Amino acid sequence: MKEIKKHDPAFYLRHYFSSLGFFFFSFFIFSTQVVFNTQVYAEAPVRLDVFESVVIKVIDGDTVRLKDGTLIVYLGIDAPELKRKVDNAWVYDPEPYAEEAAKFNKAMVEGKKVLVEIDPVKKHDRFGRLMAYVYVDKVLAAEELLKNGLAKADSPSLFMKHRIRFWSLEEIAWTGKKGMWADENSSP
């Protein structure tokens, strides 16, 4: 076996380049950490999917009009309809519990300041209405309708934010025979 002598130039070059390589490698790792971990801090995060407004009119159990004219339908529920579309006109033909749901919704949100949260999964329904969660005094309006048996849980997507909670509330209202679930033959 060949003995390496410290006065051999190859010995010094190997140690020099390996130390130099370690230095550059460390510098590279440190510099990328500094460059890529740079964060920009703002005073408050701005969320474009949440905004405040005032409900100026309740259309039915799950639809409201905001002060800017936007028509909002509550995401995740389906309340009985007051009107149905015949040809190109809306005809007053209330489904069972539609008037109760509209009255309840009106007492809860009309004329009040609300927080509107748009779910990125589904933004508009087939009529072009904005689909959103509407909160009044930190209470989710759709939840209150479900708890009182005045709406059914309706999940347009499996990735919807409150899907499981809405199904659970519908089940509780059904087993408690509340609202539309009071009838012996009704089931979700």
> pLDDT (tens digit, 9 = 90+) per residue, 160-178?
788 889 999 999 999 999 9
Ranges of each domain in the chain = 1-39, 50-182
pLDDT of residue 128: 87
pLDDT exceeds 80 at position 141: yes
Cα distance between residue 139 and residue 157, in whole Å = 22
Predicted local confidence at residue 167, as pLDDT: 92
The pLDDT assigned to 127 comes to: 83
- Residue 102's alpha-carbon distances to 32, 46, 54, 60, 63, in angstroms, are 58, 33, 17, 4, 9
Show Cβ contacts of residue 95 under 8 Å, excluding neighbours closer than 6 positions. 80, 81, 82
**Amino acid identity of 143?**
E
Q: Does the pLDDT value for residue 78 go beyond 80?
A: yes
Q: What is the pLDDT of residue 22?
A: 55
Over residues 96-135, the pLDDT tens digits come to 999 999 999 999 999 999 999 998 777 888 888 999 999 9
CATH number of the domain at 50-182, out of 3.30.2290.10, 3.40.50.1970, 2.40.50.90, 3.40.50.300? 2.40.50.90
pLDDT band at 11 (very low <50, low <70, confident <90, very high): low
Strand partners, 116: 51, 134
pLDDT at 52: 95
| Confidence band of 24 (pLDDT split at 50, 70, 90) | low
